[in-house]
Chain A
């Protein structure tokens, strides 16, 4: 299939506008821990649409929107009431309310089907194909409507940034500041309903539900600033729109089939992919960063253990001038794995050790200082524990070995004061002097 700016460009624009409009309001659903509300409202608007149709006998967008907004507010209201009086949690209340409203919609639609034909797949996927065709006869209505809804959401989120933030974070404080948290809640629900209805037509309900939640959750994982979260969620929606349509175009070529998948379904897949990536790479919360931090810590501990051994070796020889230890010996002690190799290399790169005679390692001046500090921490800790408990001497080394890596300057000073600055540890070995330096 060949690329057409008019057709494909319009489809991408429609998908982007729908996705971004959803992401903006969806972010606040996620933050208020009511992600299900998107799902609920998207289903619950059905009776609103049908009743609007039965009353006006038209499928004009105006009537549809009014129907949707009324039912959107009703959903939020009923949910609150069921939660309060039924004494169930909000999620359950939403489930009750939207399934019942949806069912009412299904019953009413029976009455309406005499007048309209409803295509179920159109509800699920929207009719992007029509938009593609329409684009060649002037600007499609869906595009105009989506642009308006997107602009509305954008203005709302930007203008009421501080009000939305405080009412989502702390409704109590918000109300005491004169920012009515309930009002903000209903304003948000109205916009969710509007966005859902307008986006439905173009991209279908699956995409709406996904776009209300998935890009915001992706963004939520990646940052801990609200503004950046909003920005990222919009960026991910936009990217998903562009990439999914390109993928749709490329699909028949890649898989050598005449069938083209649906853009809105593909967009949901892409949003899901982004989320999967975010779960892996997210800073702090992500799997990769946790693994990385764990590795970095293990590496640091291995490095410091090597420094400690070199120091003790040198101390044992009683030689102030650098005593070298064969690298092979170090590997035998610490294992031949990649961690040891990498630790040895990074020690040399940091100029904490030098190679001597090709296969032996010695401490540099800088390395000596660092090692002294570690040994000092270690032996101070042993002294401290020995003074404060009745553990036998051979029980002291192991825990100190673990603790030494985590003793910063502040704790070291405290330890030094606590044990009254002794010269020797419980084993009778000297505690290196010197003052605590900055931890890096």
Chain B
């Protein structure tokens, strides 16, 4: 693959495309599974201290984008910088909430253990977590309202509670940039608003949060910026100007008109659907 070799030859040249102040900037990235590209020519730079929604249909490559940012899957071409440096040097700055389906819930581990894992990056190899790490983990659990479940094995938590535990784990990482894959999947309205309050709090403290999100109706109220993704970036920028029906139609293709109609019908009925 010649794109790959080109990038290898000029490792430093990539930096000129990246703004060192951007929490994350992606330049001309293509990602492929078995040579079949699922993300094409991604260009994006985040502004610090914003909540950024990533929206797109199933299979659009949202999870892939997040994983590529974390170096969990190789890029076919292009480069990513976290505050101007490659991810490998900036791990401490990035927190991550995985998609639910990727977790083994039967693992012999309780909620507190899971959250404590968020602190492992700050502990040298072969050293166990100390009291202060456990305390930090416990406080994060308190923050998401899960302190009373600290010692429960994670399969015996409800879906929303499990989601909160993973959010607490991201909080305890105390990162500058958070990448969250569908933190709102399968949670009730109360948990959703609790999570959004936490995200707003992170933002108030100057953190940047990228969130994969599926509920189009709440995009406008939750996010400052939005990335509309369908194998490529259809549009990105401030929600107010980017999240337009025109752009949505381009992102979701034919399916969307129905979605929009349904949403409007619901809106006309004066009802909420959750």
Contact = CB atoms under 8 A, between A and B. Distances in A.
B96 interface: yes
Contacts of B110: 224-225
Interface stretch (B2-10, B67-75, B136-144, B230-238): B67-75
B87 to A, nearest CB: 9
A226 B108 contact: yes
A169 B104 contact: yes
A342 interface: no
B109 interface: yes
Contact of B71 (A175, A220, A224): A175
B23 to A, nearest CB: 15
B103 A175 contact: no
Nearest to A33: B104
A224 B120 CA distance: 21
Most buried by B among A85, A168, A175, A176: A176
Interface residues of A, number: 28
B268 interface: no
Nearest to A220: B108
Nearest to A228: B108
Interface in B72-128: 72, 91, 94, 96, 98, 102-104, 107-110, 113-114, 117-118, 120-121, 123, 125-128
A169 B154 CA distance: 12
B132 interface: no
A195 to B, nearest CB: 21
A15 interface: no
A173 B67 CA distance: 11
Contacts of A220: 108
Contacts of B104: 31, 33, 169
Contacts of B114: 169
Interface size class on chain B is: 20 to 34
B162 interface: no
Contacts of B34: 84-85
B108 A170 contact: no
Contacts of B37: none
B210 to A, nearest CB: 14
A175 B70 contact: yes
B108 A176 contact: no
B188 to A, nearest CB: 16
Given A31-B107, A163-B125, A223-B108, A172 B102 contact: yes
B129 interface: yes
Given A220-B108, A224-B110, A224-B153, A170 B117 contact: yes
Nearest to A27: B108
A161 interface: yes
B15 to A, nearest CB: 22
- Most chain A C-beta atoms within 10 Å of own C-beta, residue among B94, B109, B123, B125: B109
Nearest to A175: B72
A206 interface: no
Nearest to A31: B107
A377 to B, nearest CB: 23
B153 A170 contact: no
B51 to A, nearest CB: 21
Given A172-B96, A179-B120, A229-B108, A162 B91 contact: no
A220 B153 CA distance: 13
Contacts of A177: 91, 117, 120-121
Interface string A149-173: 0000000000111110110111011
A174 to B, nearest CB: 8
Given A33-B104, A172-B70, A176-B96, A160 B109 contact: no
Nearest to A224: B153
A188 to B, nearest CB: 16
Contacts of A168: 107
B91 A169 contact: no
Contact of A224 (B109, B117, B169): B109
A173 B118 CA distance: 8
Given A162-B123, A170-B117, A176 B70 contact: yes
Interface in A196-231: 220, 223-226, 228-229
A11 to B, nearest CB: 33
Nearest to A229: B108
Interface in A317-350: none
Contacts of B107: 31, 168-169, 226
A173 B98 contact: yes
B126 A159 contact: yes
Contact of A169 (B72, B94, B117, B129): B117
A62 interface: no
A12 to B, nearest CB: 29
B70 to A, nearest CB: 5
Contacts of A170: 98, 102-103, 117
A182 to B, nearest CB: 11
A152 to B, nearest CB: 15
A428 interface: no
Q: Which of B94, B114, B120, B169 has the most CB of A within 10 A?
A: B120
A177 B129 CA distance: 14
In this complex, the member of A162, A173, A225 whose beta carbon has the largest number of chain B beta carbons within 10 angstroms is A173
Given A172-B70, A225-B110, A166 B120 contact: yes
A161 B128 contact: yes
Contacts of B103: 169-170
A224 B110 CA distance: 8
A175 B121 CA distance: 10
A125 B109 CA distance: 36
Return the 7 tightest CB-CB contacts between A and B, nearest first: A177-B121, A224-B153, A224-B108, A159-B126, A226-B108, A166-B117, A177-B120
Interface of B: 34, 67, 70-72, 91, 94, 96, 98, 102-104, 107-110, 113-114, 117-118, 120-121, 123, 125-129, 153, 169
Interface of A: 31, 33, 84-85, 159-163, 165-166, 168-170, 172-173, 175-179, 220, 223-226, 228-229
27 contacts: A31-B104, A31-B108, A84-B34, A162-B120, A162-B123, A162-B126, A163-B125, A169-B103, A169-B109, A169-B114, A169-B117, A170-B102, A170-B103, A172-B96, A172-B98, A173-B96, A173-B98, A173-B118, A176-B121, A177-B117, A178-B91, A220-B108, A224-B109, A224-B153, A225-B110, A226-B113, A228-B108
Given A162-B123, A173-B118, 4 more contacts: A31-B108, A165-B113, A166-B117, A178-B91
